[in-house]
Amino acid sequence: MERAFLVSAVVKGHHSVWAPDDSIAELAELVRSAGAYVAGTVIQRLERQSHSYLGQGKLEEVKASLVSQRIDTVICDDELTPSQQENMEEALGGVKIIDRTALILDIFARRAQTHEGRLQVELAQHEYLLPRLAGQWSHLERLGGGIGTRGPGETQLETDRRLVRGRIQRLKRSLEDVRTHRELYRSRRRQQGIPVVSLVGYTNAGKSTLMNALTDAGVASADKLFMTLDPVTRKVRLPSGRPALLTDTVGFIQKLPTTLVAAFRATLEEISEASLILHVVDITHRNAGEHVDLVEGVLKDLKVSDKPKLLVLNKADLLPEGTVPAGLASINRRGPREPVPTLLVSATRGDGLGQLFERMDETLYQGSGAGLRTAVVQSH
């Protein structure tokens, strides 16, 4: 099993709602989800941004640990600039260095099952790779002119850049075809007048487990980050006998790479069609408040934050009797926020699911014969 050493640089004045310990603990979860072993961690507080991510003294300490603990890979808790990555590799003796973004992309590449999912991940990987090609071929550029450097008029770096840019354009065209196909599907769905309910939430909040409990969808679920990448839609029958479509979506995470958000645009557009958003929260997680805020921020960026929402507090089966859930305390600590109806459920045990169906019915259908909420037929 690959042995990973995790490092985090906390720069003075760089605001983050996440405590460094919580952020690197999440990075460790990501590493385990990728199938590697966390052999050690280090957090350094810096006065200013370092050209090598960590300070020189800390890099020497890390280098000593790499030998004593037989480390294969060093993983940074932020996205590195190409020069930071190159400087770290040089300082640490050529050990493999990857950042949080590369790790998330690797997990996405492992989990993508559908043709669309694989296209989205490959696009994000190529857009991440493009600015980093220069470091990989800098040794060629340092050679300058002279014997052995004359060629067909294009350096290897220029060739690679051209190939990657060409692949990016082909992937974007393929995803545009997917987007067009999705829009046709959504148009037919709107004509049928069946409301859509989107499950959103932080990764590993239990969205897929809830989806399976409500619909028998058979979506892969496990106690790992990013188990669902490909959206799944299933029809459900509400207590009133009326239908609804329930859609599971990719989970969110702090420091989510912008390349991924862009690549998954077609998938995230599913949320824009929702008549109701079920925001699923792991109520046992001590950072549930931060999770809620981050997801709400993404919904705001997607311009869907004004849609009817229900905060589904999941994993009630894991709560000790008679205690205030750590997640609820975290949510309350975050201060006043827009009031959203909440419901406590257990997707694995089935607690509260009957009530959830009732609330969905009430929200989507305004009484007998009143018809759907107008959001259903709006085109976005």
Extract the tokens encoding 209. Answer: 């487990």
Query: Which pLDDT does position 379 carry in this prediction?
Result: 28
Token pair for 238: 């509400």
Say yes or no: 244 and 286 in one domain: yes
Q: What is the pLDDT of residue 141?
A: 45
- pLDDT for 372 equals 36
Strand order in the sheet with 342-344: 232-237, 243-248, 196-201, 276-282, 309-314, 342-344
pLDDT at 114: 78
Domain that holds residue 26: 3-108
Say if 184 falls within a structural domain: no
Q: What is the pLDDT of residue 145?
A: 45
Q: Do 235 and 145 fall within a single domain?
A: no
**Would you state the pLDDT for residue 351?**
93
DSSP H or E segment with residue 123: helix 115-129
Residue ending a domain, among 90, 108, 126, is 108
**Are 296 and 368 members of one domain?**
yes
Whether residues 64 and 117 fall in one domain: no
Asked if 281 and 337 touch (Cβ cutoff 8 Å), the reply is: no
Mean pLDDT split into 10-residue runs, the chain, 380 residues:
92 80 92 91 91 93 89 92 90 88 87 81 88 58 44 65 89 88 80 89 90 76 55 86 88 79 72 91 90 88 88 89 64 63 91 94 68 31
Write down the pLDDT at residue 369. Answer: 38
- In the chain, what is the straight-line distance between the N-terminal and C-terminal CA atoms, in Å? 47
